[in-house]
Chain A
């Protein structure tokens, strides 16, 4: 089932959490609502589930207007950040709860619970109480409970932020697998761009209640709509050079010579040149400018150098075999991909 929102607005007193938002969540996709805290992503999720009422606008599930329906009648599966498993019930009773309140016959309910438990790999924990489970296991049970009534949507609010780093990677792959196997349209909220990028089909990036970009993960990374999107995605973060753009190219603040890019761009004025660390080539390719190495370090399998260019710092991935050390002067080239120019004032993408 697909969901769409039309001119959705949510106000908490004078604060506008969501501003006139229109979007469609495609059927069968795994969609991440991403953004910094306070961007309205959880508010958005809670309006989809019906937990909080909308101020203005409409929410549709397929073509049905569900704006006024309470959560009980929306048939959505919800997973909370702290899982909210009922502490007095066993795992089995927790998973069965949504069917029990529908007065589904016991035999059918148990069969369905078994199926769900197998899907999320908790079949051997059915007799336990939530307090006897690890965080990851509680998460799995919460997902099983959300899925047992065959919901139209699975909504997860910061599902991984209560888990430790190792478990987080494991569980996000599990969420991906469970979503694939069940085929349910899934929307999850996260503030972690890596989490969103690694499992989502598409990402809706929000800031101050406004969608910055809503597209596939690849598109957000390769074709960011504005500086905020370019900044938010990618680790290490995208390099930013402040300066001005004119007919001769981009002149960084404090630099003596311009960098020749964007030959046929009509813009002139203050701009930001943003370069992904993997698109900044050290001592390779056609040299655009020179800079001094400040530091180099290992980040997992990769090596990174930090260079100083006219007083501004840039990071670049290098071949770990490459012999450069602090103080060396290196030539820098730019890749075709992963290099963007933004208007400094508006953050708008120019190139």
Chain B
């Protein structure tokens, strides 16, 4: 008889090790080649002084790339823009998604239609949707400026005025984050025993009390998860810039983000050292946030 699993009381022998190892190999190879090796490479490159791409020569290891990146006002600006984007988009997307998820979870007419409608952006291409938003934001013909004109608000140059470009990016970023967030929150809501809702009603709680005292605390682990994942993905804001600003980092190069900076250093300027250093800086920032969130989540999930 073949053994397929290692039981607790069995000693791990070569035979019991080999079979699961064989199953894991294809996956592990993929991870090693496409994730672990490049990651180690980035770490190394970020510390190499005067690294030359083609000849792979460098003069030694040091912090020169980091010093150069931090001295570059464009990078500081990119950090600032990314921070603003994350700080605005993540809370906004979470709150809006929570409201929509709660509505979708309640018994409303045409529930299926609404669910589909809210999940549509998930399956449409970022670029196609981005181009639609480019039209919505259009100064002369855009729907947004038209709606604003109904309230006697003057037309805003959403995409070409450096003062407003970040708001356009935030609005578009929030919108594109909604479907994923709603799906996860809705799944979390559906895991909450409906009995608590009935019990709370019998206890005399109003809908607002039920939402804040029962639903939100019970959903806290899911909300925490959504915030972590969205913070990580918002820190990597990059793709969104292309359709909105025609491939440039905002009007007059005002809206650099960290990833765009990295991309430009790497693909446009062929400066691998600073590119790797900026990637490492973003990685460390995201790592710190993730660790904080994980600690908080352990505290939340205390039942």
Contacts and interface: CB of A to CB of B under 8 A. Distances in A.
Interface string B212-243: 01100110100000000000000000000000
Interface in A137-188: 145-146, 149
A51 B198 contact: yes
Given A88-B217, A131-B303, A80 B206 contact: no
Interface in A45-98: 49, 51, 70-72, 75-78, 80, 82, 84, 86-88, 97-98
B203 A97 contact: yes
Contacts of A87: 218, 303
Contacts of B202: 49, 51, 71-72, 76-78, 146
Interface string A19-41: 00000000000000000000000
A101 B199 contact: no
A101 B209 contact: yes
Interface residues of B, number: 20
B303 A130 contact: yes
Interface string B284-303: 00000000000000000011
Interface string B194-213: 01101111111110010001
Contacts of B196: 84, 86
B193 interface: yes
Nearest to B220: A88
A101 B193 contact: no
B303 A101 contact: no
Contacts of A77: 202
A227 to B, nearest CB: 37
Contacts of B218: 86-88
A72 B201 contact: yes
A282 B203 CA distance: 55
A130 B213 CA distance: 16
A94 to B, nearest CB: 10
A14 to B, nearest CB: 21
A102 interface: yes
| Most chain B C-beta atoms within 10 Å of own C-beta, residue among A82, A100, A101, A145 | A101
B201 A71 contact: yes
Nearest to B201: A71
A129 interface: yes
A248 B217 CA distance: 74
Given A86-B214, A88-B218, A102 B199 contact: no
Contacts of A101: 200, 203-206, 209, 213
Contacts of B203: 78, 97-98, 101, 145, 149
Contacts of A102: 204
B195 A82 contact: yes
A130 to B, nearest CB: 7
A87 B199 CA distance: 12
Interface of A: 49, 51, 70-72, 75-78, 80, 82, 84, 86-88, 97-98, 100-102, 129-131, 145-146, 149
